[in-house]
A and B are shown apart, each in its own frame.
Chain A
Amino acid sequence: MRKIIIFLLPILFFLYTSCTAAQEILRLSTSAQIADGFGMDVIKEFEAKHNIKVQVFICCSNTALQRLINGFSDLACVAFKLPVKYIEQGYVEIPFAKDPLAIIVNKNNKIENITTYQIRQIFSGQISNWNDIGGIDQEIYTIIPNTRTALYKNFQVLVLQQLPISWDFQSYLSINVIKLVANLKNGIGFISNGALKNKVGVKILKVNSKSITDKDYPYFQTFSFVTKGRPNRNAKEFINAALSKRGREIIISKGMYPIF
């Protein structure tokens, strides 16, 4: 009997390990605004369709890239253009969507339109009262995401043209800007349009009389996949899922524009 058990144990162990190893894993680190705006929906459908489990780590774009560099991820989703030094080192950048950068205020704010000049004045601290841009006589609270996030850097480059940003409140994850603006009556912030779907308590301002849905809206971020070397099989499947008809539908439904 003991001999049979000794004989069977390794077989059972082998069967157990082979069964548990059956599902493949894709380690994905993603910027919070991409996860919220697009990624989670695609991940759910991807897992349902393929026998691949996606291990998601939500962070800022910079951390997502660092995790990829350090071998903790197979694929990173970032909201900035990959610096040339990484491309030279063999990292692959695949831009897949463009997302309008929304300027948001509390839903009770009477302001509907803002100009680029006014945004620059507000976020550089030259204007600190809503009265100065046609609103009520109350202090403006500027709300920004963490200064390490791609959203912050994109805003600084696209809107403020590298001017230093003056701020009252800062959130660790970029998507928490929405909560802060929704809770602060006199708050103003900026966020990826994709992350704004179904969020309540905030209002998107027109910029230079251009609505966020207009093609000639002035501020767009580019969302990209990044891999260390060429994407592995699972990462390639995920990229193709994002490029697929369904992936495009999700991107469009979130107010973003697919690159292809």
Chain B
Amino acid sequence: MNLKDKIKIILLIVCFLFTSSCATVITSVMPPTTFVKKGDVKLGPVISYDFNIQPIENNIYRVIQIPICEQEQRVFVVQKKQTRGPLAALVELPIFGLGLVDWVVADAVAQNSKKVVDKGYVPTGEFKKCGAPSPAKGIEVVVQFPLSGSEKKLYTDENGNLDLNPLFASYPNSSVNLFVRRGGMTYYLTSIYVP
């Protein structure tokens, strides 16, 4: 082995030392990146109601309530190192084919660094109907008389019915607005013209 060959071998070893495992080292050294992965969607608990009114008889109405839920989505926070150094692995490839090994190891390092934190279900801000309509029993209904600015409180019976006959007898030729009051919230129901 002459000097030229020795230099070649030394250069190859130096190349091997400097280039092998580059992608693995870069992948290991770089900090992990964090991203959010979204999971399945479900409806949360009932947070409010949508109210409707149905005429039953002359001036007797049934108040119907439809539960409203907020949509929730499962969220995972994923922390993972990214596989880096593809160029280094490519350079290493002609040298004993080590580039491929380096890339596989770098990818394994990245996969091993993966940490998933389940943040549970979080509200999406979308509201959907989440139950069958049912009569609103014993609910407070506010009757507003816009002309006089006065209000009257009524309650629905066990069938969700509201008898407006006694009230309308006292206030002919007026328009009234009906509101449902539940849990400190007021919902507009409908307006009725009293002939």
Contacts and interface: CB of A to CB of B under 8 A. Distances in A.
B187 A94 contact: no
Interface size range on A against B: 20 to 34
Contacts, number: 48
Contacts of B188: 94, 231, 236, 239-240, 243
Interface string B147-162: 1010000000000000
B184 interface: yes
Contacts of B18: none
B186 A84 contact: no
Prevailing SS type, chain B contact patch: strand
A93 interface: yes
Among the interface residues B125, B175, B188, B191, which one has the most CB atoms of the partner chain A within 10 A? Answer: B188
Interface string A87-107: 100101111000000000000
Given A49-B125, A230-B191, A243-B179, A87 B186 contact: no
Contacts of B123: none
B149 A92 contact: no
Nearest to A242: B188
A259 B177 CA distance: 13
A40 to B, nearest CB: 21
Given A243-B179, A243-B188, A245-B185, A90 B193 contact: yes
Nearest to A50: B127
Contact of B187 (A84, A93, A224, A243): A243
B97 interface: no
Contact of B146 (A82, A230, A240): A82
B191 A95 contact: no
Contacts of B186: 243, 260
Given A94-B146, A95-B149, A222-B149, A244 B125 contact: no
B79 interface: no
Contact of A87 (B144, B181, B193): B193
Contacts of A230: 190-191
B144 A95 contact: yes
Nearest to A87: B175
A94 B185 contact: no
Contacts of B191: 92, 94, 230-231
A183 to B, nearest CB: 37
7 contacts: A49-B125, A87-B175, A90-B193, A94-B144, A94-B146, A244-B185, A245-B184
Given A87-B193, A92-B177, 19 more contacts: A81-B146, A82-B146, A87-B147, A87-B175, A90-B193, A92-B175, A93-B175, A94-B146, A94-B191, A95-B144, A95-B146, A222-B149, A224-B146, A231-B188, A236-B188, A240-B188, A260-B142, A260-B181, A260-B186
